[in-house]
Amino acid sequence: MNILLLKESNAGEQRVALIPNDIKTLIKQKHRVFVESHAGSAAGFTDDEYTSMGATICPSPKSDKDYHELFTHKDIIVRAKRPNKSRERQEAKAYMPGTILIGALDPHDPH
């Protein structure tokens, strides 16, 4: 499976859904892991730590086309928390049918 780890977009959010050691485990299980650039920075992990465990770093999306490219051919998308409103709107347009989203999505948050 192709797994994508997204960078958190809410101000003050310092968590990351997967740490580099998790990547190592997923790679051993024959998954391909893609990490949005700087996804682990706020939690103290560098892109180099993720690549050393076998992940592929992807640039952060800036346009609808970038979001589409980032989300294409990803079976699972992982994040720690629901994205901010702006990013959520962008991502919603790019999700592919059948993609599994894993994360705490704050169903009671009115944003």
Q: For each of the chain's 111 residues, which pLDDT tens digit applies?
A: 999 999 999 888 999 999 999 999 999 999 999 999 999 999 999 999 999 999 999 999 999 999 999 999 999 999 999 899 999 999 999 999 999 999 986 766 665
Spatial contact of 81 and 15, defined as CB atoms under 8 Å apart: yes
pTM of the model: 0.92
Query: Alpha-carbon distance 26 to 69, whole Å?
Result: 22
User: Is residue 4 packed enough to be buried (19+ CB in 10 Å), middle (13-18) or exposed (0-12)?
Assistant: buried
- 31: CB partners within 8 A, 6+ apart: 1, 2, 3
Give the CB-side neighbour count of residue 76, counting CA atoms within 13 A.
14
Which pair of tokens denotes residue 99? Answer: 């993609």
